[in-house]
Chains A and B, each alone.
Chain A
Amino acid sequence: MRYAETGYYLEIDLSKGTIERVESDPQLTELYLGGLGTNAKIIWDRVPPEIEPFSEDNLIIFSAGLLCGTPAPGANRTMITSISPQTGLLAFSMMGGYFAPELKYAGYDKIIIKGKSPTPVYLWIHNNQVELRDASHLKGKSTYDTITTLKKELDEPYAQGLAIGLAGENRVYFASIETETSSASRLGLGAIMGDKNLKAIMVRGTKDLNIAEPLPFMEESTKILDYINHRLENPLPGIPGILSMIGSPQEMAVHDEKWHTISFAWGNARYRRKDFWNDEIEEQWRETMENARKKLIGCYNCPAKCHGILELPGFPTYVMKCFSKLTYVMAAMADDLEFGIKIASLAQSYGIDGYTAPQVMAFAVELYDDGILTDKELPNFPKDNRERFFYLLDMIVKREGIGDILAKGVYWAAREIGKGAEKYDHNTIKKHEQIPIKLGMLNPIYYLMWSTGEKINITQIEGQIPQAPLKKEDREEFVRDWVHIPTGKEERFKNFILEWGDEGKVFPFWPSIDLVCELVEWQEIMHYIDDCLGLCAGLSSFPLKPAYHIHNLPLFVKYGTGLDFDEDKLWEAATRVRTLIRAINFREGLRREDEKPPEDHWKKRFPEYEAKLLEEYYKYRGWNKDGVPTKETLYKLKLDYVYDELVERGILKESEEETK
């Protein structure tokens, strides 16, 4: 018997219309855990770089994490993996909500989809009954309507669903996949679903999921639940507002947006508006939020209320998450929160990424204002920025006129438009739009995370440590019960917090490069563990002093699966996954020269020091000077097969001197 996981995948070929239930190899769990880890292994084995994102042979994998469906609080993430149409690299968007646990109760850890259906279909999974069904009547329907319609048609009010909207159907490179509460937004997975003519997946499960060591698992789960509750009621003392919490409940619950609106860049990631927030705005925004917000809710088995049900007359009711509240407002330079809530409602119903879409629109507005795009491309372009955004949203999701090009995102659109448009592409890395933050002094820790982050998304690898030095009087208190630090690093990491901000102990040349490397590795590895186990980063890798950490996580894996995991083994498994994903990206064409932050992310840059940081970090992680994992590293991680192929493809040279 398998524990914590079901031990079965669904293999679906849409071209042939075949469905198979396949037992998974239990050894893969020991090596790659589950979720993102086992997804990456499948992509490595079955999707070589010759396969284009929009091709029958590209896979899209919907996976529950290893712990999803168990009582571990917040273990509810669905990891969706494919090759991104936008970056050509691994796309691994994720979402919370209710889908993954339901999939486990239906008896499956993953749905692996290949091929293209000749006509629109949806997938219906009800325990052992799995069917591809006609979806022609759902064509063009919004993400929400699709799911509610299917629930009714199937007469299954307890089913969970995910769907694409118009954007996915039209293969917009930043189309999202939506559930009723959550979104997998980044890197265009909705377009892959659309390309495969798969409109939706509905799942209903009533089977048992087994736990290997029930009593201790339940005890650890109860502790987590109690800690979450404790932290929700007791924010960390001495830590600035939004960083003192756990989860991300602040966005929907709080109307005070001073910190975001004055710290993040507006427009096409251009302008800081340090005097934006005032009493009048505050009053307006409070009223808007209170009027629109019907209730704060959240995800499966978690008491943190990070989502808001928002409702404004004339727009579809929807569930908003986190920062999408502000992305449209700030990109449009609109001072009006109501606009943001309205356009996000439509955008989500079309199924489009709330990070990328506003930046593409702001980019188009700049091009128009500077005469690169004209009335020819944008006929009857409105004067008001808010109206312009609605106009552009419509063109993009329908791929009409210039919308067809903008639908590829800033990087590709800039190159297709030409006429100097490339210069307006200043906030993408690896062809993907980044969070609009523009800062002063180079931060060596963040420099490495921006540059080498495989997810191309800073919020998905950062966490654990404060973003600025703490006040002297708060430092002792912060490290006092900082139990989260990996074994052996306690003194070094605590001293970092205790000294950071003292005379001479400031960025960029402090702390030492080896400590920078260790801090980067720690932050990143914790995220990879979450992505394999299906845990919400908001309870684990993202906040300060989270509920889950490297000392209790191995217990969950051990008690859940019955496999003998400890701190070292879990760390190694996450490192294996992280390294494999790097190998996938290098096989897809990523190179050292792509490893950099957005060009104007910091005003004060130190090219020589940055090169040294990168070099030292590569060495620290066991990668060669080009950033490719070395033979020694790959063999140590039991990734021999990766080494063989990288050599075969000329990405690694057999004769190469190994970096120690």
Chain B
Amino acid sequence: MSSNKKTRIIKTIKVDIEKCIGCKSCEIACAAFHATPKYSSINPARSRIRVIRDELRNVFLPIRAGAYTKSECAGRPSYIIDGREYGECNFCNASCPARELFKEPDSGLPLRCDMCEDDPDLEKPMCVQWCKLDALIYEEREEEYDEEVELNEMEVAVESLIDKYGIEKVIDSIARITKKTQK
């Protein structure tokens, strides 16, 4: 029965909050790695990992960009851990309309952590390599899964545009741009 199941490597970055001091080295490494050409520019706003930091409240929390969501949630969660309050959305990794985090600063398109998948593969994602305090811990494990078609980067981007503006507006815009460029 398990003949149509495949195995894949699940990559995890475990976060040890106590070790994070909010230095943002992870943001720099990520922003640099994802620049084109590679390392050619630094802009932490393009980083797919961001550190929530509030030194006077002793809050330091690295969050990696997760999935894009088109609407914010109803009833935002907040947590008190060891007497420290973590604000609304602090633990959430979504690229979401409720906040500025994890959006390309120029286009507003969503950013998502890709674990620095590259050719050849990095030994560890860049943020983990640059975190000398071991607040970010890289782990791999094998897992079985049902095969499904994954969207490529372009499709994710187009899908988010459709979510935001509706499919008709997107088609109209593409048609207009196509006309313009053909002139």
Q: Residues on A close to B: CB < 8 A?
A: 69-71, 73, 98, 105, 144, 148, 157-158, 180-181, 205-211, 214-215, 217-218, 222, 225-226, 228-229, 294-303, 305, 309, 317-319
Q: Which residues of B lie under 8 Å from residue A317 when comparing CB positions?
A: 56-58
Q: Which residues of A lie under 8 Å from residue B105 when comparing CB positions?
A: 206-207
Inter-chain residue pair count (beta carbon < 8 A): 98
| CA A299 to CA B53, docked complex, whole Å | 12
Tell me if B118 counts as interface (CB < 8 A to partner A): no
B21-80 at interface with A (beta carbon < 8 Å) = 21-25, 28-29, 32, 35, 37-46, 52, 54-58, 60
Cβ contacts A to B, 29 pairs, < 8 Å: A70-B42, A71-B32, A73-B25, A98-B24, A105-B44, A148-B56, A157-B54, A208-B35, A209-B41, A209-B42, A211-B32, A211-B40, A211-B41, A214-B32, A214-B39, A218-B32, A225-B25, A226-B132, A295-B58, A296-B21, A297-B21, A297-B22, A297-B23, A298-B23, A300-B23, A309-B58, A317-B56, A317-B57, A318-B56
Q: Which residues of B lie under 8 Å from residue A301 when comparing CB positions?
A: 23-25, 28
Q: Which residues of B lie under 8 Å from residue A206 when comparing CB positions?
A: 43, 45, 105
| CA A225 to CA B54, docked complex, whole Å | 24
| CA A106 to CA B140, docked complex, whole Å | 37
In the complex, what's the smallest C-beta–C-beta distance from B98 to chain A, in angstroms?
12
| CA A98 to CA B60, docked complex, whole Å | 14
Tell me if B133 counts as interface (CB < 8 A to partner A): yes
| CA A317 to CA B55, docked complex, whole Å | 9
In the complex, what's the smallest C-beta–C-beta distance from B43 to chain A, in angstroms?
4
Count of residues in B whose CB is under 8 Å from the partner chain: 32
Chain B positions 71 through 115: 1 when the CB is less than 8 Å from some CB of chain A, otherwise 0: 000000000000000000000000000001000010000000000
Q: Looking across the interface, which residue of chain A has its beta carbon closest to that of B130?
A: A225
| CA A301 to CA B42, docked complex, whole Å | 12
Q: Which residues of B lie under 8 Å from residue A298 when comparing CB positions?
A: 21, 23
Q: Is the CB of A207 within 8 A of B43?
A: yes
The 10 closest A-B pairs by CB, nearest first: A214-B39, A206-B45, A206-B105, A303-B132, A208-B41, A297-B21, A214-B40, A208-B43, A229-B132, A218-B39
Q: Which residues of B lie under 8 Å from residue A295 when comparing CB positions?
A: 21, 58, 60
Instruction: Among B21, B22, B37, B42, point to the contact of A71 (Cβ < 8 A).
Output: B42
| CA A303 to CA B25, docked complex, whole Å | 8
| CA A209 to CA B28, docked complex, whole Å | 11
Other contacts beyond A70-B42, A207-B43, A297-B22: 8, CB < 8 A: A105-B45, A205-B45, A207-B45, A207-B105, A225-B130, A228-B132, A302-B25, A309-B58
Q: Which residues of B lie under 8 Å from residue A225 when comparing CB positions?
A: 25, 130, 132
Q: Which residues of B lie under 8 Å from residue A229 when comparing CB positions?
A: 132
Q: Which residues of B lie under 8 Å from residue A144 when comparing CB positions?
A: 56
| CA A319 to CA B54, docked complex, whole Å | 11
Q: Looking across the interface, which residue of chain A has its beta carbon closest to that of B28?
A: A71
Q: Which residues of A lie under 8 Å from residue B100 when comparing CB positions?
A: 158
| CA A158 to CA B51, docked complex, whole Å | 9
| CA A158 to CA B132, docked complex, whole Å | 23
Q: Which residues of B lie under 8 Å from residue A148 when comparing CB positions?
A: 56
Q: Is the CB of A215 within 8 A of B132?
A: no
Q: Which residues of A lie under 8 Å from residue B57 when comparing CB positions?
A: 317
Q: Looking across the interface, which residue of chain B has its beta carbon closest to that of A158?
A: B100
Q: Is the CB of A305 within 8 A of B21?
A: yes
Q: Looking across the interface, which residue of chain A has its beta carbon closest to that of B26?
A: A301
Instruction: Evaluate whether A209 and B43 lie within 8 angstroms (CB atoms) in the complex, with A71-B28, A71-B29, A214-B38 already known.
Output: yes
Q: Which residues of A lie under 8 Å from residue B41 when comparing CB positions?
A: 208-211
